[in-house]
Amino acid sequence: MSLTESMNTHGRARLSFASEADIDEFVETLEKYERGELTPDQWRTFRLVRGTYGQRQTFDAQMLRIKVPQGVLTADQLRALAEVAEQYSRRFGHITTRQNIQLHFVKLHDVEPAMRRLADAGLTTREACGNSIRNITACPYAGVAHDELFDVSPYAEATTRYFLRQKLSSTLPRKFKIAFEGCPEDHAVLAIHDLAFHAQRGPDQGRGFRVLAGGGTALMCKSAGLLHDFLPAAEILRVVTAVLRVFQRLGDYQHKQRNRMKFMIKALGWDAWLNEYQRELAWCRSEGGVPLLTIDPAEAEAAPTAERGDAPAPSLIVSRVAAAQPIGPGLTPTIVPVFLPGDEAYGRWRSTNVRPQKQFGYMIATATVPLGDLTAEQMRVAGELARAYGDGAVRVTADQNLVFRWVPVGELRELYRRLAAASLGQAEASSVADVTSCPGAESCRLAVTQSRGLGRLLEEHLRARPDLVAAADGAHIKISGCPNGCGQHHIATIGFQGSVRRLGGRAVPQYFVMVGGGTTLERATFARTAAKIPARRIPETVERLIAFYQREKRDGESAPAFFQRMDLERVSEELRDLQQLSAEDAVPLDFVDLAETGEFAPEVMEGECSA
């Protein structure tokens, strides 16, 4: 396939991202490692770039991360994911905050057949992990949002195709993250990315982007700086290449804790880094031979023309989903099919999970996926519903949900009935009750606590208290099991970071309670630590924070704005008594992590994030 062809494959008929040669190379390299021809470090570096990440378990357990460029999953791809989840994992997958799908507890020798089935559907794990350009994300409403400037999806996809498997893309000091947004609201959390592109119009109304660079969270939270106020869209590949070349040449390959691009920029200084970038950009434009991005997609998506499939009956969905329960080890999704949802439930779902498209007569519907955990049968059903009521695809979101687009307004009720039957019909999408969480210590080598255990506890608590959900205007809760922030807790209204406290020689799971995070199209505001509270007291912590907001807020002030404004000491004072825990006051459950049964014994292992 020529370069021109590869950059013009955007749209519903886009070509595969997979390569059988990748899988053959994986098998050959695994055999070399097993023959002792490669060191463990060499093997680890190789497999990470192929999306295979070692879990904390001592037995054969891998996490397989599947890239979902721009979050787009077709019905065929959902079916392939379902089959792989059933045959090689736990009958469910996990949606990440970067529009990937992760499958856990996969045996190493099952990775090859899993990869081949995924490749049949056009999916790849290439550069999903490792020191590479990770999955390039985009606004899930791109192409159909009523207030977007233009559809950014084709530009994000062309960038993905150009850099996928390129040597520069996988020989970096550390991972590199890119995002695209076209709306006036920031759905892609641009300011925490290494490079971010926000749609703009030039003086001649030509398409272009405002470009940000150098953002990130974890050990040094940094809001991305302005690189270009307006960049013509044709220059995207050159700009990305120039930034990567500086990072590859001057980045830190020695210190795992400070080798993201933001550290390099800090060490050089913004102006010195900018000079290096401009020199590389000039090279890209002249002797480097980096092409212009010569695509001219439509301003927005056209209506789907494919014949629609038949929707399965709600009763059939109930029986299918209920019969195909996920399995352990670890915390598994709770499946509660609803066969006959009432008018009140539908009205609430429509008010919180549905928005209009720019195309008249069509709606965007969000299926809430608790903690981002989607069972294999739910994947199949979602694909069937996308064919019956949408354009044959869904988009996964940074909030760990599924978005159905091109739903005729008159068919929303029937779609909702079937989502409810699949245990995907909960309302309150992207509200305080729609908690985001990383996988946590159940599988991650770096995590301290079982973040999904806390996520489930909070979701159940909040959904049982609709008064709290209504009171927490605009608030979001995000949880990470360690400081790295895969759950994006640094940009949450209320964020929780897993930690440990020692009490009488025993360990208590606790969380740093962080408030006031968020992003806009211009910058990120990072949450501040207000308290350190034992895990079992976090639901009461959330109640206290919501009550504090209701009591002290200004007229018309949202919860995110309130916690960004409020003096941190006042927030801490509201939670002071919840922090206190003595050996005399502790009860047995204080020493057991959420969703676990044995006594808490945290073990932070050497991670593979920067291997």
Tens digits of per-residue pLDDT, 122-131? 999 999 999 9
Asked, for residue 303, whether it belongs to a domain, the answer is no
What percentage of residues in the chain have a pLDDT greater than 70? 97
Asked, for residue 302, whether it belongs to a domain, the answer is no
Contact call for residues 35 and 187 (beta carbons, < 8 A):
no
For the cut 70, the answer to whether the pLDDT of residue 2 exceeds it is: no
CATH of the domain at 392: 3.90.480.20
Answer yes or no: do 274 and 144 share one domain: yes
Q: Give the total number of structural domains in the chain.
A: 4
Answer yes or no: do 109 and 149 share one domain: no
Asked, for residue 242, whether it belongs to a domain, the answer is yes
For the cut 60, the answer to whether the pLDDT of residue 8 exceeds it is: no
CATH of the domain at 554: 3.30.413.10
Answer yes or no: do 153 and 263 share one domain: yes
**In the listed set 393, 421, 449, which residue is the last one of a domain according to the structure?**
421
- Confidence (pLDDT) at 9: 55
Answer yes or no: do 477 and 566 share one domain: yes
For the cut 80, the answer to whether the pLDDT of residue 43 exceeds it is: yes
Answer yes or no: do 453 and 556 share one domain: yes
What is the β-pairing status of strands 225-232 and 494-503? unpaired
Answer yes or no: do 113 and 142 share one domain: no
Asked, for residue 604, whether it belongs to a domain, the answer is no
Answer yes or no: do 479 and 402 share one domain: no
Tens digits of per-residue pLDDT, 292-339? 999 999 999 999 999 999 999 999 999 999 999 999 999 999 999 999
Tens digits of per-residue pLDDT, 378-411? 999 999 999 999 999 999 999 999 999 999 999 9
- DSSP strand E in 214-305: where? 225-232
Tens digits of per-residue pLDDT, 532-579? 999 999 999 999 999 999 999 999 999 999 999 999 999 999 999 999
Whole-number average pLDDT of the chain: 96
Tens digits of per-residue pLDDT, 139-174? 999 999 999 999 999 999 999 999 999 999 999 999
Q: Which domain holds residue 374?
A: 314-421
Q: 483-507: b or e for each residue (b if 16 or more CB lie within 10 Å)? A: bbbbbbbbbbbbbbbbbbbebeeeb
What is the β-pairing status of strands 518-519 and 506-515? unpaired
- Confidence (pLDDT) at 190: 98
Asked, for residue 606, whether it belongs to a domain, the answer is no
Bridge partners (DSSP) listed for residue 180: 138, 197
- Confidence (pLDDT) at 1: 39
Answer yes or no: do 498 and 556 share one domain: yes
For the cut 90, the answer to whether the pLDDT of residue 77 exceeds it is: yes
Answer yes or no: do 276 and 196 share one domain: yes
For the cut 70, the answer to whether the pLDDT of residue 4 exceeds it is: no
Q: Report, as an integer, the average pLDDT of 435-450.
A: 96
Asked, for residue 401, whether it belongs to a domain, the answer is yes
Answer yes or no: do 208 and 334 share one domain: no
Q: Report, as an integer, the average pLDDT of 360-376.
A: 98
